[in-house]
Copies of this chain bind each other. A is one copy, B any other.
Amino acid sequence: MTIVTVLGFTAATLTSLSFFPQAIKVIKTRDTKSISLIMYSMFTLGVFLWLLYGFFSNSMPVLIANIVTLIPATVVLILKIKEGNKN
């Protein structure tokens, strides 16, 4: 495994897992006021399309990374729609 591949896996792990702390914070606080609905709508749709891209181009890393990211991103999107600009 080359240093460049390690760089790619580290980057994928960080960007995929980074949405879990945000989902946990929103679940705990129910505060979504400063979160952008437009961002999470665009981002969640984009991640879903990346997932399809990974599936149709037989790229397991892209498929798995985006399945992982889709979960917390969808949680934040749903809570943002539900909680709106309360708090």
Contact = CB atoms under 8 A, between A and B. Distances in A.
Interface of A is mostly: helix
Interface residues of A, number: 40
A20 B38 CA distance: 9
Contacts of A34: 25-26, 29, 31-35, 87
Contact of A42 (B18, B26, B35, B42): B18
A32 B38 CA distance: 16
A52 to B, nearest CB: 6
A11 to B, nearest CB: 4
Contact of A11 (B25, B35, B50): B50
Interface of A: 4, 7-8, 10-15, 17-22, 24-26, 29, 31-36, 38-40, 42-43, 45-47, 49-50, 52-53, 56-57, 87
